[in-house]
Amino acid sequence: MTAPGSPCPHVPCKGTIRASGYCGTCHRHPSTAPGADTAPARGTTGQATVPGPRPAPSDTDAPAAPRPAGSAGGLDRDGLVQLPGFPRPADEDVVRATVRRPEGGRRCGVPDCAGTIGVSYDGGPAPDEGFCPLCGTRYSFRPQLGPGDVVAGQYRVIGYLSPGGTGWVYLAEDLDLPGQRVVLKTQINTQDAAARRKAVEERRSLTTLHHRDIVGIIASKQHRRAGEAEPTDYIVMEYVAGRPLDQLLKASDEELSRMFGGPFAFDHVVTYGCKILGALEYLHDQDLLYCDMKPENVIHYERQIKIIDLGAVRRIDDRTSALVYTPGFAPQKRERDARGFRVDTDLFTVGRTLAALATRAKVPAGLAARSFDRLIGRATHADPAARFTSAAQMSRQLWEVLREHRALEGCEPFPERSTRFEPTAVAFGAALGTVPALTHWTQRPEGVAPPDLATRAPAPHETARALPGPIADPGDPAAVLLGGLAGDAPERTAERAREDPALQTVEVALWLCRSYLLSGEPGPAGGKALAAAEHWLDEAVRLMGRDVAGYDWRPPWHRGLLHLMRGQVRDAQGEFAAVYATVPGEWAPKLALGYCAEYLRAGIDPENAATEAEAYYRAVWQRDKAHTSAAFGLARLRLLHGDRAAAVRVLDQVPTTSRNYNLARIAALRILTGRVGGTAPSSADLTKAVVRLAEQPQDDARDRLVAEIRENVLAGHPAPPRPASWRARLVLALTLSGPDTQDFTPLPPGELFQGAGSRRALAQLLYGSLRTLVGQAPAADRPELLDRAYAVRPQSRF
C-alpha cells in the first residue's frame, strides 16, 4: 500500500497520495498504475480475508503463459490461483458509436406516482420520450451525451458503454491527462426522482469506499446541455479495462483457451469467488449490501478483478427503498417480499454467480466437485437460516475447496490448520502397523494357519475416539476455562456445571459430551457414560436454542460420534453428511464419511470402480499427509483387491516427521509379507521386505516380525503328502532331496531366509524364531510356545 504523501506512480502526474489513498491531482489510486502491486498488506483496509502462502507476484502486464495440464498456474500472495494477464482492450472493442436503448416499462419515479413510462402501445415500438400517463411528468430515455461531447470542460466522450439499471455509462478521455480513460455515469431519465436519490446514494457509497477489488470514484461533475434548464450530475469513475465475466460464459472453448493459456479451470472460478467475497466482506463491514452480484458486474483486468456498478448498493438496515436485483441471481420473490435483502442474500447471489461460471470450467478433480456443489447448495439454500452467515465464512470454505481440488490435481499441497476442528495425532485403523503380540501364537489352536492381515475397517468405537473435536468458540464465556478442565473426570466438572452459572455455556456442555463419550464403553447399550454424553449434547442444543442448533454443524458432529460409539454406523453416516454439507471444505467430516462408507461397503461408483470411501480418504490424504488415518484406510481398500504394491505406496507417503511414521513402515513390511485373501506373498514382495526388515531395530518387536514372516511364507508352502508305504518313505529319507524341495520357490538371500532352500529348511528357521520368542514370553505362556515350536520342527530322516 502506498503511504500518504508518496509521489503518485502515474505518469506524467506529479501529484502526491492523500490520506484517502488517492492522488490529489489526478484522483487515481496508485494500484491502477501499470506494474503496480495491487494487493495491500495483511491487516490493511481492503484486504480479502483469504489465508494462505504468499509467493512473490508476477508482472501484471505479462501475457498468460501456457500451463501444465491439470494445473491453473501458480498461487498469488493470497494463496489463490494467479489469474492470467488480460491485455487492455482497444477503445473501439468496448464502446458503441450508437446508443442501445434501455428497455421500457419503468416506474415513473415521481413521488407517490404509480405510473409506468416507456410502454409500447398498439404493438408499436416503445417511445424514447413522452409523458407519464398518470401524473403527466415528462420523461426521456435518450442519452444526454454523444461521442465528442465534453463534460465539465475536462472529459471528452468516446462512446457508449452500456445502459445500467438506472443510468447511462460512457467511456471518456481525461483531457488534462492525455491517454487516461474514465467512466462517466448519469441517470437514464433525469426526471426520475427515485433514480436521482439512488444516484446520490451510489455517489456517497463510491466516495467512502476504498478497496482494491471495488471500482473507485474520481470526482463528481455537473454538466448542462444546451436547452436544459438544470445541469445533470455525472459520476467520474476509474475505467477498468478488461472483460466482464459474463463474456466468459459466451466465449468459445478456443477463446477461453487463448485467454487463460489453457482450459478455463475450476481454480479460476474459486479465485474469482474468493476475491468477490473479500470485496463483499469489506462492504458488509461498512454496513452496506451490494445486492446485484452477477458475472457482468465483475471485470477481469490484467491479473485482477474489479466489482463495478454499485447502483444497487443499500444499507444493511434499509427495509423501505426499492430493491435492485437481477432475476436468476437473487432469491425468490416470496423471500424478497418477506425479508428484503440481508447479508446472506448477497452470499446467495455470489453462489449463483459461481454456479454460472462453473458451467464453463473444467470439472473439478475427485471429491472437489462434490465439495463445491455442497458449498453452492449452502450458499443458495431455500431457507435463509441454512446459508453462510458471513462472506468471510463462505470465503474460508471456498478457499478450502480450492486447496482440496489442487491437491487432487497433483499440485503441491499447502496444508493449513483447520479453523473448525482441533488437530489430532491419533490414527484409527492402524492395526496393520502393530507388531503382533505373543498371543498371535499362544491363543491360536495348533494346526490352524496364520490369519490374514487385518484389512477390515476398524471398530466404530475406535474411530469415534480418534476423530477430532471442534475448536471451541472463542466468544463463549467459558472458552478460556476448557483447557484447565479434567478430561478424565467429567463427573466433577458436570457437578460444578450444574451449580455454577459461569459453566452453564454451550462449549462446556459440548466438552462434557465429548468427555463422557470418550470414557464410555462401546456397544448398543452404551452404558451410563454414553447416556450422560447424550444428556449434555441435549443441554448444548437447549443453550443454543433449537432454531440455531438446527443449522449448527456441531450437534450433528457429536451425534455422529455417539452413533459410532453405539455401533450405529449408518445413522452416524447421515449425521456426518449433514456436517459435510455445512462445512464442505473441512477434512474431518470427509474422514468420518470415508470410514462409514468403508465399514458399510457402500457407494461403489460403477464408472471407475472406486468406492465412496476411496474418494473421501483420498481427498483427505492428498490434501494433508498429517492425517494418517486416511492413509491406513486407503491401504486397506487397496488390499481388498489384493494390490499390495499400491497399499505400500500409500504408506510410504507418510512423512518422517509424523508420529505414525514407524506404524506406517511396519504396516508396509507386514503387507509385503502377510497373507492377503488367503494368498501368500510373492518372491518379489519378499525381496522388498528383506530390505525393509534391515531398517528395523534389533529388539523383541523385530523378533516377532521375523517369526510372523517366516510363518506366513511357510504356510504358502504346504507340506507334501507322505508316501503310503514305509519303503517309499525310507527311499525319500535316504535321498538328498524330496517332495519338499521339488516345487519350492527360491527365497531371497539374507538373514531372514538364510539357507532356506527347501520347506524343511524354512521350517527349521521358523522353529528357531519360535524358540527365541519363548525367552520373551511370561512363564505361563512358554509351554504353549514350545509346543508350537516343536510342532513345526522338521522330523529327523532316521
Residues annotated as catalytic are 292
- 10 Å CB burial of residue 123 (0-12, 13-18, 19+) is exposed
Residue 251: count of CB within 10 angstroms of its CB: 16
Q: Which 8-state DSSP code applies to residue 484?
A: G
Cβ proximity of 144 and 54 under 8 Å = no
Q: Which of 242, 220, 170, 285 is nearest to 27 (CA)?
A: 220
Taking alpha carbons only, the member of 151, 173, 176, 165 closest to residue 201 is 165
Return the bridge partners of 77, or none: none
Can you tell me the distance from the alpha carbon of 722 to that of 709, in angstroms, rounded to the nearest whole number?
26
Query: Which one, of 322, 361, 311, lies nearest residue 169 by Cα?
Result: 311
182 contacts 172 by C-beta, under 8 angstroms: yes
E strand map for 192-303: 217-223, 232-238, 243-244, 288-289, 298-301
User: What is each CA distance from 337 to 322, 385, 722, 765, in whole angstroms?
Assistant: 11, 16, 91, 84
Residue pair 627/591 in contact (Cβ under 8 Å)? The answer is yes
Query: HSE of 538 in the Cβ direction (CA atoms, 13 Å)?
Result: 6
Give CA–CA dist 145/225, Å, rounded: 8
User: What are residue 581's phi and psi, to 5 degrees?
Assistant: -65, -25
Picking from 433, 413, 444, the residue whose alpha carbon sits closest to that of residue 625 is 413
What is the secondary structure of 538-579 as a DSSP string?
HHHHHHH-HHHHTT-SHHHHHHHHHHHHTT-HHHHHHHHHHH
Long-range Cβ contact pairs of 477-486 (< 8 A, separation 24 or more): 477/502, 477/505, 478/502, 478/503, 478/505, 478/507, 478/508, 479/507, 481/508, 482/507, 482/508, 482/511, 485/511, 485/515
